[in-house]
Structure 1
């Protein structure tokens, strides 16, 4: 199937679903510029595109304006990292269970604190200081301590979370461990929790000066402890399903 870029922008969600059954060739002024495709066999494809695959084929970059336009015209959850658009797949039970348990732990800890935990979907705009390039991500869980200071008139948060949590899945592992770790470290996030439901492990990173100051991996029935929030800890026997 061949469509022009305007048609793709106006019906983004529709063509994401169609791409599970056939390649979608995107053209601009009659010239092929990209291909929307799936990365697995059609017989194995659920009705979505693998989230590890950029929306524009062959690694083509999209501008932030193009991303915002696609996002506006689609109900799909997407992220924009270093010029590429990623579709967020529906999470599994183990993923949601870990997010829910951690959110409950964080909510209890910050109940009488100026910081507030939030769960996805929650858009976070991050600008790399070195390039001034905009990114937009939806962390699984985050702790925000300057909400009132950076709350825009449109009721969207414009700041940088103090702590961010991402729960790994098969399709997000590379993005969370490499792309997002580097993005969060570069853009002012102080602490990053990487949660692995398969291994029942949590690695906590402490960032300082756009570098990894310290990190530690917790497993089994240990308590994952925060570097920046004194006495904040999560019992892993409570976080993961038995």
Structure 2
């Protein structure tokens, strides 16, 4: 449900641009390094990705570096999303990574530098607005994301 809420917001924001949002299942192979993944360490399926180079989608695989990635935490994905994927995404050249935590209704926004380091970490709660650092004007009321869950 949270993925659909965010995907709808992204659809409206990106509908007149060269960028678009895609939802899982869609494999991406990144060039970072996360040695603890049991399968291919650099192939992941983020819940949502924003790409600005659609020509790199071939046969249900994306072969570029997404600009923005979104993951919704679940008990089974928590460690992977918070540690392994954070490292992989930053070292691969992703510009922003949002982690949606339905348990505490919080969104954590990571912004990465061109040198692939963490530039900023923002924890946002339901009374706040999430503003993309990379996509000007992309703003999300945090409480709207969580309005349909208890």
> Normalising by the residue count of structure 2, what TM-score does the alignment of the two structures yield?
0.88
| Contact 2:125–2:142 under 8 Å retained in 1 | yes
RMSD: 1.8
Task: List runs of 5+ in structure 1 lacking aligned partners.
Answer: 1-96
1:201 deviates by 0.6
Superposition pairs for residues 50-199 of structure 1, below 5 Å? 97-128=1-32, 135-148=42-55, 150-152=56-58, 154=59, 156-199=61-104
Distance (whole Å) between structure 1 residues aligned to residue 52 and residue 91 of structure 2: 19
Describe the superposition over 1:73-117 as per-residue Cα deviations: whole angstroms up to 9, x where unpaired. Answer: xxxxxxxxxxxxxxxxxxxxxxxx111100001110001011000
- Whole-Å Cα distance in 2 between the matches of residues 99 and 155 of structure 1? 19
Q: For residues 70 and 52 of structure 2, what CA distance do their matches in structure 1 show?
A: 15
Structure 2: gaps (5+ residues): none
Give 1:236 deviation, angstroms. 1.6
Aligned equivalents of 2:67, 2:24: Cα separation in 1: 16
Q: Is contact 2:125–2:143 with CA below 8 Å preserved after alignment? A: no
Q: Report how many residues are paired.
A: 142
Three-state SS of the structure 2 residue aligned to 1:206 is: strand
Following TM superposition, where does structure 1 have runs of at least 4 consecutive aligned residues deviating by more than 3 angstroms? none
Could you tell me the TM-score, scaled by structure 1's length?
0.55
Partner of 2:112: 207
**Could you say what secondary structure the match of 2:90 adopts?**
helix
Distance 2:61 2:101 in 1: 29
Question: In the superposition, relative to structure 1, how do residues 155 and 124 fare at CA in structure 2: closer, same or farther (>3 Å)?
Answer: closer
TM-superposed deviation, 1:151: 3.6
Larger Rg: 1
Contact kept? 1:127, 1:134, Cα under 8 Å: no
- Report the counterpart of residue 139 of structure 2 in structure 1: 233
Task: Report the CA distance between 1:155 and its aligned residue.
Answer: 5.9
Quote the Cα distance in structure 2 between the aligned partners of 1:144 and 1:234.
18
Determine which structure has greater relative contact order: mean sequence separation of CA pairs < 8 Å that are 6+ residues apart, divided by chain length: 2
* Cα distance between partner residues in 2 of 1:134 and 1:159: 16
